[in-house]
Chains A and B, each alone.
Chain A
């Protein structure tokens, strides 16, 4: 009973709480980083240096009026934000935060479940999130959200191909679809896969930016052209769900990237003897630290690069990234057979 129900439920609660609070502080961090890059201070009023700003934001969003356009499709308008958030959250079921820890005399693994097909699960669940974006734009019955959702879906479908291809080349290298096994394979190899598959890592990061609709590929939310994007007509908590999903997706792709390319919970420099004490730090700390670094890269890129034009985005995806990912896949398969 305890092993079957209590511990998994407890793990899910911990993961969801951690992710939600991480999202809240990601928003603050993003505003702060943007501000620092532009030599401003960012939010400073709520709490010292604005550290309580997320709480104020959440309170504001909860108490706002929930407006639904009169001509909107009532059922789909309600369904869309839910369809965006749920896939983003359930991906965490297979993300390994560490190996295991002992708590109350019990050995507890630091992942909710270890599926044989974990990676395929992530890719397939992530592909469901697309529906929320398309339906949200369509159900609003308004032209800018519709344009935005068409952009978003075309962009995500295009880049999904390249990202999945890089993940396949990683599966070829690691020889497993389970995320736990992939990290263990990196431990056995003694090297993180970012050094074995650097091309795949670059394609993955670019594709991740496009799939999460982040700058410089934030065309679906290009304020200057589309007012606000597919969630223009949404307000209050429903808008907050779209917002939540966007940031959760950023954390998801960072966590997957860390697991696949940056050794997951493994400590760095494990082969350097005088840095062996780094291995004493618990695995989940390393995992969080690496995820944080990847997320910071996202914020840095947003603050630095201008937005792509739509035709440039499509050309990059179809004519550069997908061929490159295919060649990378072929090369890694050949090397796997030869070596």
Chain B
């Protein structure tokens, strides 16, 4: 019961936030709604017993990545509206249609998925808590992907510096 209430409230928040992200006129408002959506998703992870992921979501996503977006939005100081010019070959209706088609497809899949077994509640998967379970998986089972991810981040860092340099 408690899970259901939490789920419906958070789902409403997430979907409203998502819609506001893509409909907001100003990019700064978009960023603010994105932060709200991300925090609501973090709360959703807590409902799903993924506490560590929830905290990382807030720390890395809301506290790191989205701050970067906000920085860029503020640095990109346009003299005219960002979306003033529309390319003559742009088909916005097709975009909406494609989105609708995708949603219909998802709905069909979800219709079957609704009959699948219920999510278990003892979801820490280990007597010693979620953090330790995640740590064991991350550093033992998935050590190589973890190292690859760190290399990816390093490459992205170098790439960002090269791209953002003024005299490049």
A130 touching B63, Cβ below 8 Å: yes
- Tell me whether B58 is interfacial, beta carbon within 8 Å: yes
- Tell me whether B14 is interfacial, beta carbon within 8 Å: no
- Tell me the B58-75 residues at the A interface (CB within 8 Å): 58-59, 62-64, 67, 70-71, 74
B59 touching A124, Cβ below 8 Å: yes
Known: A127-B63, A135-B32. A116 touches B129 (CB 8 A): yes
Q: Tell me whether chain B's interface is mostly helix, strand or loop, or mixed.
A: helix
A129 to chain B minimum Cβ distance, whole angstroms, is 9
- Complex: chain A residue closest to B66, CB-CB: A131
- Tell me the A107-157 residues at the B interface (CB within 8 Å): 115-117, 120-121, 123-125, 127-128, 130-131, 134-135, 138, 146, 150, 153, 157
B64 touching A120, Cβ below 8 Å: no
What residues of A have a CB within 8 angstroms of the CB of B74 in the complex? Answer: 134, 138, 146, 150
- Tell me whether A177 is interfacial, beta carbon within 8 Å: yes
B131 to chain A minimum Cβ distance, whole angstroms, is 6
A128 touching B63, Cβ below 8 Å: yes
Stretch with Cβ within 8 A of B (4 or more), from A18-26, A73-81, A201-209: A73-81
- Tell me whether B11 is interfacial, beta carbon within 8 Å: no
- Tell me whether B52 is interfacial, beta carbon within 8 Å: yes
What residues of B have a CB within 8 angstroms of the CB of A79 in the complex? Answer: 32
Known: A73-B28, A135-B32, A157-B67. A117 touches B51 (CB 8 A): yes
Q: How far, in whole Å, are A290 and B139 apart by their CA atoms in the complex?
A: 37
A21 to chain B minimum Cβ distance, whole angstroms, is 29
B60 to chain A minimum Cβ distance, whole angstroms, is 9
B67 touching A153, Cβ below 8 Å: yes
- Complex: chain B residue closest to A115, CB-CB: B51
- Complex: chain A residue closest to B55, CB-CB: A120
- Tell me the B1-57 residues at the A interface (CB within 8 Å): 26, 28-29, 32, 35, 39, 51-52, 55-56
User: Which A residues have a C-beta under 8 Å from some C-beta of B?
Assistant: 73, 75-76, 79, 115-117, 120-121, 123-125, 127-128, 130-131, 134-135, 138, 146, 150, 153, 157, 160, 177
Task: Name 16 interchain pairs, CB-CB below 8 A, sorted by A.
Answer: A75-B29, A79-B32, A116-B51, A116-B129, A120-B59, A124-B56, A125-B58, A127-B58, A127-B62, A127-B63, A128-B58, A131-B67, A134-B70, A135-B32, A138-B74, A177-B131
| Further contacts, 8 of them, CB under 8 A, given A127-B62, A131-B32, A135-B70 | A117-B51, A120-B55, A120-B56, A128-B39, A128-B62, A130-B67, A138-B74, A157-B64
6 closest pairs, A vs B, by CB? Answer: A127-B63, A124-B59, A124-B58, A120-B55, A124-B55, A116-B129
User: Which B residues have a C-beta under 8 Å from some C-beta of A?
Assistant: 26, 28-29, 32, 35, 39, 51-52, 55-56, 58-59, 62-64, 67, 70-71, 74, 129-131
